[in-house]
Amino acid sequence: MALIVQKFGGTSVGTVERIQHVADKVIDYRRNGHDVVVVVSAMSGETDRLLGLAREINPGIDGRELDVLLSTGEQVTIALLAMALNNKGCLARSYTGAQVQILTDSAHNKARIRDIDGARIRRDLADGYAIVVAGFQGVDEHGNITTLGRGGSDTTAVALAAALKAQECQIYTDVDGVYTTDPRVVPNARRLSRITFEEMLEMASLGSKVLQIRSVEFAGKYNVPLRVLSSFKEGEGTLITLEENVMEQALISGIAFNQNEAQLTVLGVPDQPGVAYQILGPIADANIEVDMIVQNIGADGTTDFTFTVHRNDYDKALGLLQLQADKLGARQVSGDKKIVKISLVGVGMRSHAGIASQMFKTLASVGINIRMISTSEIKISVVVDEKYLELGVRALHDAFGLENPTVD
Ligand code: ADP
Ligand code: ASP
Ligand code: MG
């Protein structure tokens, strides 16, 4: 029988009524002749609530015990959904990540899945059960509970679909597909019926949180057909697929934005070999990831150096930079947390010139100053003041004709 893996996110299981609704959907699929493995998130707000409790004890908390705590959110929903299914006459069994041996590395709070032992699930499916698996969690080789990072249930679902060779992995959420940009910011954004793995990976990496980055990586690597759908509204959603399956290639597929970055600048450093390393070496040693980097052409023997990091790392990075700046004899160190990165994504960019200039022209026409620019084969990103987020995204969405003609 064809196997489908379905994942339901936090809002889709946010109340008992919604869990009942999920149970009905699962039962429908089984009636249509599918085996179903369901992955669920914690009820909406629950992971944040648990995180808040832990932070009351220690604001900087991370590591092993946090995973023991956070994994309980999903344990509640698997049990409730299995109960709802059983109650409606559908045989169902729930499993935690550890019980079905979702084996991960030991990187607590951001673990990576290494292997899944599908034997137990296959046996239960053969016995006619619907299987409900806790998303976002696994177990390491020492038996410690691990979690996969925020949004990690998407990755659990795709990894299970790959391990069980499912026909499709369906991600049910509170929007009915992947849109040209976040519909919360641009109400007339358009749903894409298809998008390539490569573009979806860029969108996710550049801030569109509709899918966790790793879930898209996984789906691309193992060629798992992945579909984003609404839990609340019927429809075909968005299929994430290989490039050759996307027939009409738009120039730009979508606009992503990321509000979690902060900018740091070192002014007036000596323009000589080794300076970039001296600035960024201590940052890397402190395990802080650097995103965009810009170094100016030197003048008068000095140069300026600007880069971005995650906002959570800003204070630490600024401290390290101040220490280094003194050693380097830099004129000044400054920074800004209130920035946003806006990115255009599209495989069509490969074969078209002029997209960058149209982007810059559009931003200029609404008076937005660009602070940093970076490009790669299928994306262009700019950093601007955070206050311009909505204005910038909407102006670009219009300028590139991404709107849905049927919605105002
Ligand atoms: P879930 O709890 O189901 O995992 P998420 O909140 O993680 O749901 O993801 C769904 C949200 O992603 C949507 O409500 C939407 O605001 C946001 N989002 C951001 N970018 C996009 C996009 N390009 N298309 C669709 N949704 C997007
Ligand atoms: N519950 C986790 C979170 O809120 C995982 C998920 O929902 O995918 O991040
Ligand atoms: Mg999510």
Q: Mind giving me the DSSP string for 309-342?
A: EEGGGHHHHHHHHHHHHHHHT-SEEEEES-EEEE
- CATH number, domain of 192, equals 3.40.1160.10
Q: Which atom of ligand 1 is nearest to the CA of 12?
A: 3
Residue 362 lies in a domain: yes
In percent, the amount of the chain with pLDDT more than 90 equals 85
Query: Which of 142-146, 213-217, 296-300, 311-315 shows the lowest mean pLDDT across its residues?
Result: 296-300
Average pLDDT over residues 270-288: 91
Query: Which of 31-40, 152-161, 241-250 shows the lowest mean pLDDT across its residues?
Result: 241-250
What pLDDT is recorded for position 353?
80
Q: Mind giving me the DSSP string for 240-270?
A: EE-GGG--S--S--EEEEE-SEEEEEEEEEE
* pLDDT(406) > 70: no
For ligand 2, whether the C-beta of 112 sits within 6 Å is no
Query: Which of 152-156, 238-242, 294-298 shows the lowest mean pLDDT across its residues?
Result: 294-298
Q: How many helices (H) does the chain have, and how many strands (E)?
A: 11, 20
Query: Whole-angstrom Cα distance, residue 235 to residue 303?
Result: 54
Q: Which residues contact 250 (CB under 8 A, 6 or more apart)?
A: 346, 348
Average pLDDT over residues 372-379: 92
Q: Is the separation of the CB atoms in 383 and 308 below 8 Å?
A: yes
Of 244, 268, 288, which residue sits at a domain end?
A: 244
User: What is the domain range of residue 232?
Assistant: 2-244
- CATH number, domain of 326, equals 3.30.2130.10
- pLDDT, tens digit (0-9, with 9 covering 90-100), for 300-309: 888 999 999 9
Residue 350 DSSP class: G
Q: Which residues contact 46 (CB under 8 A, 6 or more apart)?
A: 10, 73, 76
The total number of structural domains that make up the chain: 2
Q: Categorize the per-residue pLDDT at 24 as very low, low, confident or very high, splitting at 50, 70 and 90.
A: very high
Residue 213 lies in a domain: yes
Average pLDDT over residues 330-347: 94
Residues 149 and 260 in one domain: no
Q: Is the separation of the CB atoms in 94 and 40 below 8 Å?
A: no
Residue 29 lies in a domain: yes
What pLDDT is recorded for position 247?
57
What is the average pLDDT score of the chain? 94
Residues 302 and 367 in one domain: yes
Residues 269 and 394 in one domain: yes
Residues 45 and 67 in one domain: yes
Query: Whole-angstrom Cα distance, residue 360 to residue 257?
Result: 16
- pLDDT, tens digit (0-9, with 9 covering 90-100), for 43-97: 999 999 999 999 999 998 889 999 999 999 999 999 999 999 999 999 999 999 9
Residues 133 and 154 in one domain: yes
What pLDDT is recorded for position 352?
81
In percent, the amount of the chain with pLDDT more than 70 equals 98
Query: Whole-angstrom Cα distance, residue 321 to residue 325?
Result: 6
Average pLDDT over residues 346-353: 84
Residue 408 lies in a domain: no
Residues 272 and 233 in one domain: no
Residues 20 and 114 in one domain: yes
Residues 110 and 189 in one domain: yes
Residues 238 and 276 in one domain: no
Closest ligand to Cα 157: 2
Q: Name the residue of 43, 72, 136 whose CB sits within 8 Å of the most ligand 2 atoms, as the mutation to test its pocket.
A: 136
For ligand 2, whether the C-beta of 155 sits within 6 Å is no
Residues 18 and 143 in one domain: yes
CB neighbour class for 233 (10 Å; exposed up to 12, middle 13-18, buried from 19): exposed
Which uninterrupted H or E stretch holds 71?
helix 64-87
Residues 228 and 292 in one domain: no
